[in-house]
Structure 1
Amino acid sequence: MLRSEPNVKTWSRTWRAAILVAWILAAALLAAIFPAASKEEVNRATLVPDSAPSQVAAARVREAFPASSGTPAILVFADPSGISSADWSSIRQAVRELRAHPVTAQTEVPPLDALPPAAAAGFASSDGKVVSVPVLLRADASQDQLNQAVAEIDQVLRRTAGAQALERAPGDPGLHVYVTGPAGIAVDATHLFQHADLALLIATTLLVLALMMVLYRSPILALVPLVSVGIAYTVVSSLLGAWARYGGLTFDAQTVSILTVLLFGAGTDYCLFFIARYRQELRRHARPSDALRAGYKSTAAAILMSGLTVSVSLLSLLAARSPSFHEFAIPFSLGVFVMALVAITFVPALIGSLGRAAFWPRIPRYEPDSPEAEQPGRISRWLGRTAVRRRTPVAVLGSLALAACCLALPHVRTTYDLLSSFPSDMPSREGYAVLAAHESPGALAPVDVLVEGGNAEAAIRSIQSLASVQKVQLVASRHDAHEALLQVELRANPYSEAAMGALPSIERAAVTGASAGGHAARVYVAGETAAQADTRSITARDTRVVVPMVLAAIGLLLLVYLRSVVAPLYLLATIVLSYGAAMGLGWLAVREVLHQPAMQGTIPLYAFVFLVALGEDYNIFVMSRIWEVWRRGQARSAVERGVADTASVITSAGLILAGTFAMLASLPIQVLLQFGVVTAIGVLLDTFVVRPWLVPAITALLGDAARWPRRT
């Protein structure tokens, strides 16, 4: 904790100026020397660790059949009236150019241009309206190389089929061309995240500015959080960029998008907590510098503790195996911690330099004798009074209300379907829809099955007998090594739950068939479906590991800060209950309002870490005020005054934090949309149920026992 008595010279004019200049120079120098975080994003084609079974299998396939393994970009040529001779000419010309001038990371293209018409017809659908051509790219190609390859393929298609073929709306007559498959989907997904960053930054800035104007009606004050967040964001972005370039840190565009929202939400909250207390002190002190010292003394420790709690919680994600969680840890924890440092140094210096003028046109006057000077607002006093005097019904009804929302949890459906998380008008998804309608859904990303030893032909027959399989073909074989690479085309969308559910039976059938006759055989299963299945199992493992770590870390910090064994227990219990309610209500919103059949499988863990950390954020502020007043009075009066003093500012902060996370719902990416909705709901529950009612009521019920074993 910070020292309880600041030095007499603390926050003098010279001291304030030095802090402001130091932060501005630090931000400017870091931005000039190091790259921004957005310049160092590593957007990989897969987010599965190398140790996962699908990646071990993929490495084994690359080793055994380097020319036949890779990430396919599937070129889909479609004509509603049937592929004409002119269309075939364009298709052959495109393939000829790709074979003569390979694009980045290209390894193989079938020689369709050199085949006779009868053989080339094998690439067409049975109705003759679609032709699909796979362009194989290196399996170890980075996301940047995939981006470059697809951009070069796009240029080839524009030269050979015409720009209009790539731009026609679905249903229009003429030739339509799409680039889909795992490579096309990965590239489109990356572009979605990259193009969303600027729009998200602008929208969040305008939202915070508007909410601050409505809440405080001061144009000057409304700019304080924006300037503070801007300083923190510049510093954090530069530090992350430097760490990524020189220290090997990795993060992707999704991390940068959420980091923007997190800094705006947390930063604005921290600013509000200090501003609200400073405004109160201005009515009690004639000199703004005295008000600044008094306000700082009562808020700095809580802000720093709050930032530390959130940072440590997010740092627990380092224990996750999934890169989609693991890579969040350092950027988010560093961002929040720097934002907390800005809030307890730069913000007081800036506000102190502005003095009373910061609140123009509603300037708080020095009114030490006014009965209103020491009193919170009427509604705030009513909240505190009701939470204490009606503590038993408030605690019971609040708990039951949250528990009722949790009843939807058993009905939550999760999915790891990558395609469903993207807009339906995304080119690669449109291409998949055409491919699935005229061929087989599984043609988008066949399952690779590597058979070592045994009878490959028997394995093919065994796999083909499965109801989930459309067809099986032998792609390559090495008789000397007794190895064969099979491609299994499923009847279902390869990113769907049904496809993942089919993998165990495919592996068993391959082993059974290959081992027939007493032959020893080993089978490896790779491909997009296998990677999705690994993502599902690793996410379940990460949830089992990270959740108790987050709870233990927050509980320990609360124990140290509050010096109580009892309080951390019920604070954690209420926030976990709030999380369950947020997930239940979030699922209802996803299903009934957004009309989406399932929630992305990573959302529950994402939401848990953020909601538990940010929820305890508010608990720390209200409990620190209750503890402060408790030293001078009894438990119930301390709870009543603590709630009244913090009600207005936490409500304002909660609305802004919920609003900033809700901005994620404006993005055309389902995982961010759903995360934004669930997190915003959780923040609102903490703001309007847990913090003003449930926590105070439980504290009042427990009385002195809430502080056990602390006595002072």
Structure 2
Amino acid sequence: MDNSANISKRRVPTWLRVTIPAALILVWLALFGAGGAAFGSLSDVSTNDQAQFLPSSAEATEVTELQDGFRDGDEVPAIVVVAGDTELDEAQLSAIDELRDELLAVDGVNADGASPVLPSDDGLAAQMVIPIENVEGGETPADIVAELRTVLDEHPVEGATAAITGPAGFTADLAAAFAGIDGLLLAVALAAVFIILIVVYRSPLLPVIVLFTSLTALCASVFTVVALARADILLLSGQTQGILFILVIGAATDYALLYISRYRETLTRYERKWDATWAALKGAWEPIVASGGTVIVGLLILLVSELTSNKVLGPVAAIGIVFAVLAALTLLPALLLWAGRAAFWPRKLAHAGDEVEPHARHAAGVHDASAPDEADLPDRGVWAGVGRLISKRPRTVWIVSVLALGAMSLGLAQLDADGVASSEFVLGESQARDGQELLGEHFPAGSGTPAIVIGPEDELQQIAEIALDTDGVDSVAVVSTDSPAGTAPVTSDGIEAFGPPGTPAPEPTVVDGEVQLQVTLIDPSDSLEAEATVEELRERLDEVGTEVLVGGQTAVALDTNAAAIADRTLVIPLVLAAILVILMLLLRSIVAPLILIGSVVLSFAAALGVSALVFEHVFHFPGADPSVPLFGFVFLVALGVDYNIFLMTRVREESMRFGTRAGIVRGVRLTGGVITSAGLVLAATFAALGVLPILFLAQISFIVAFGVLLDTFLVRTLLVPAMAYDIGRAIWWPSRLGRGKA
């Protein structure tokens, strides 16, 4: 060892050993600063508009584009509803009129397009539709809704409850829910990781180095993503942003832990830090690159998705993983080279030239290659016990593990992932949801957010009659610039006139031979019942002709769910196939990768089954978005394979020296601590997503956190090594190692 160290010393001049790590640290510090400044721009380049994530071929997308011809600008409707405990009197109605004037005076409101105050038939409530201008570069609709709600608070109507709902109201509530994504989410995630690292390493300096590495990787990722979003290459949403934060912190920390375990080993073998660093990189780079590459490939397969929100997550998260890998293999080694053995203080790491207790040498991974058995490993501790259990009863261990995972998978029967109402996206308090309930009590619940039908002018009456005859439809109106209200009611007798008898009916607005009808639904526009109505409406209008299109907020949600289900069906098999190929290339085997893929899929099914039961019976969630199982699968399979890569690359290394079965036991003992620590870190970071009151993120948080723990403590610890031990050297078939010592 000393000779190799001397050779290394002669080959690499001192100035290079100082310059290289210093340059790496300076480059990453520059990225850290640039990324830190870019954090403030994330909200400027993010959008939570569901319609923007639909594929261009979706019917709702086509309708949205055609609507531009019927309006002067891009507006989002806010619905103000005021409901009293008793019938509204003259004083209250007068106060509501005054409130309307105050609301229309807010900047960003299109006063000319606002509706009058519309009392309900029961006299207990009134509503008004206020269009909010959505101007690029100006105040967002969420900001304007916040100002409108301030006006609402400052001008209360005595004896009545007021709320702002509709698409603009829900957008504002969603934006408020994501408001803590930069500060609270990062603070919780970093605090959880720091506590775990302190417990694992009992060192004050090492956790700081690891977290700085992870945070720097995140800053570099944010800087890149913001630049690409500004160039309109990427579309960023709040949920993608949250997943990026958690994924980079968790993955970078995991890769750092793997490198640190190798570096700690090599510090016991080499006196000089430089030699220990190169030896650690030699042992760690392959599993880190393979693990990161597996996740990146899995994420990039999302590019084949129809849904833009799924498609965009792939490259955004892949960028984060790239920087996590780069930071773990460049910045972290440079920082640890600078810190040396002091990074592990107060623990002392002696090199091979000092007196080292045999047990300490074995724990550090220093082995005598001439001893092809397990005698040089410690016989005490958790991982020694796990190794003995696997070697004595491998078949019992893996069969019991499979049965346990299978039992957990039974919960899949209760999984409800066909979509949820957009009013349920925000957990906890939501004024828009409360307002929607008030609206539904006194008006058709779809008021203010009608389904939009665009069709030929000649078919207007037939379209209207079919819509009126469809269950779930309350009324139909046609867009007309001649009408004082901007629309005119359409009945089975034709377009109705406003004014005294004899007043001519307004002419519909015609654009390129087409008219636009607004179909008010009985159910809330964001409900599953409304989606069913739109689906039936589309089927019935197909009888008129394929040129009749149905869009609007409800149709957007319907088409989004359909695209998400199609993505789930397409992406999952592709991810499995890609990861299987990567594992075959990495392990030079066919059997071992099949075992790893099968175990991770079973682990995912178990995690999703338990999650379904918890969502239904503990959290009482209203259901799940179709993208939840897809995202859970991509993260759990890609990240779960990470730990198997960490394990099996070390098992393969040990098997080449000691034989397969001895190599499996040694691999478990040598990687048990670091992989368990990595699993705890990743589970903690994903659990941090639960602090944001967003249904989608809360569900992803639980599925991935629970799945990672399941994979860490059952699949990787017991199932995979026990099955591999039972099979023996055949797991390496058809490589040469498969024909070696069992």
Distance in 1, Cα, partners of 2:330 & 2:225: 21
Matched, 1:374 2:362: yes
Corresponding letter in the other structure for 1:425: E
Corresponding letter in the other structure for 2:313: F
Distance in 1, Cα, partners of 2:613 & 2:111: 45
Corresponding letter in the other structure for 1:410: A
Superposed CA deviations along residues 552-585 of structure 1, whole A, max 9, x for unmatched, are: 2212222222121222222111111111111111
Matched, 1:148 2:154: no
CA drift at 1:144: 6.6
1:507 is matched with which residue?
538
Note the 1:87-486 alignment, pairs <5 A: 87-96=92-101, 103=108, 108-110=113-115, 112=116, 123-137=118-132, 141=134, 148-149=140-141, 151-152=143-144, 155=147, 158=150, 163=154, 165=156, 174-246=159-231, 248-366=233-351, 367-368=355-356, 370-375=358-363, 378-414=381-417, 415-443=419-447, 445-476=449-480, 477-478=508-509, 483-486=514-517
Cα 1:330–1:480, aligned 2, differ >3 Å: closer, same or farther? Answer: closer
Distance in 1, Cα, partners of 2:73 & 2:219: 45
Matched, 1:562 2:562: no
Corresponding letter in the other structure for 2:140: Q
SS of residue in 1 equivalent to 2:475: strand
SS of residue in 2 equivalent to 1:581: helix
Matched, 1:638 2:663: yes
Corresponding letter in the other structure for 2:26: V
Cα 1:131–1:154, aligned 2, differ >3 Å: closer, same or farther? Answer: farther
1:490 to 516, 521, 529: 521
Distance in 2, Cα, partners of 1:44 & 1:281: 51
Corresponding letter in the other structure for 2:120: S
SS of residue in 1 equivalent to 2:180: helix
Superposed CA deviations along residues 27-48 of structure 1, whole A, max 9, x for unmatched, are: 3356669975454324435232
CA drift at 1:295: 2.6
Distance in 2, Cα, partners of 1:627 & 1:467: 64
Q: Count residues with an aligned counterpart.
A: 682
2:496 is matched with which residue?
none
Partners of 1:42 and 1:251 within 8 A in 2: yes
Which one is further off, 181-190 or 273-282? 273-282
2:60 is matched with which residue?
54
Cα 1:438–1:363, aligned 2, differ >3 Å: closer, same or farther? Answer: farther
SS of residue in 2 equivalent to 1:489: strand
Partners of 2:78 and 2:168 within 8 A in 1: yes
Partners of 1:45 and 1:183 within 8 A in 2: no
Partners of 1:453 and 1:483 within 8 A in 2: yes
Structure 2, unpaired ranges of 5+: 364-377, 481-507, 738-742
2:624 is matched with which residue?
599
CA drift at 1:14: 4.4
2:694 to 669, 673, 676: 669
CA drift at 1:635: 0.9
Distance in 2, Cα, partners of 1:33 & 1:157: 30
Superposed CA deviations along residues 101-143 of structure 1, whole A, max 9, x for unmatched, are: 8725677112x2xxxxxxx5xx1223323211112356xx468
Partners of 1:272 and 1:649 within 8 A in 2: yes
2:718 to 676, 685, 693: 693
SS of residue in 2 equivalent to 1:50: coil
Cα 1:665–1:26, aligned 2, differ >3 Å: closer, same or farther? Answer: closer
Partners of 2:145 and 2:172 within 8 A in 1: no
SS of residue in 2 equivalent to 1:248: coil
Corresponding letter in the other structure for 1:270: Y
Distance in 1, Cα, partners of 2:665 & 2:628: 36
Cα 1:331–1:149, aligned 2, differ >3 Å: closer, same or farther? Answer: closer
Structure 1, unpaired ranges of 5+: 113-119, 167-172
Cα 1:597–1:242, aligned 2, differ >3 Å: closer, same or farther? Answer: closer
1:75 to 76, 80, 89: 80
Corresponding letter in the other structure for 1:660: T
SS of residue in 2 equivalent to 1:407: helix
Distance in 2, Cα, partners of 1:148 & 1:612: 38
CA drift at 1:677: 0.4
Matched, 1:40 2:65: no
Cα 1:215–1:521, aligned 2, differ >3 Å: closer, same or farther? Answer: closer
Corresponding letter in the other structure for 1:131: A
In percent, how many aligned pairs have the same letter?
33
SS of residue in 1 equivalent to 2:156: helix
SS of residue in 2 equivalent to 1:373: helix
SS of residue in 2 equivalent to 1:599: coil
Note the 1:517-532 alignment, pairs <5 A: 522-532=547-557
1:585 is matched with which residue?
610
Corresponding letter in the other structure for 1:374: H
Superposed CA deviations along residues 531-568 of structure 1, whole A, max 9, x for unmatched, are: 11111111122112221221222122222221212222
Matched, 1:655 2:693: no
Superposed CA deviations along residues 200-259 of structure 1, whole A, max 9, x for unmatched, are: 011111111111112222111121221101211221111222222236322122222111
CA drift at 1:648: 0.9
Cα 1:240–1:482, aligned 2, differ >3 Å: closer, same or farther? Answer: closer
CA drift at 1:609: 0.7
Corresponding letter in the other structure for 1:436: G
Partners of 2:8 and 2:275 within 8 A in 1: no
Corresponding letter in the other structure for 1:388: S
CA drift at 1:440: 2.8
Corresponding letter in the other structure for 1:229: S
Partners of 1:406 and 1:583 within 8 A in 2: yes
Q: Cα RMSD (Å) of the superposition?
A: 2.9
Partners of 1:107 and 1:137 within 8 A in 2: no
1:116 is matched with which residue?
none
Distance in 1, Cα, partners of 2:106 & 2:328: 56
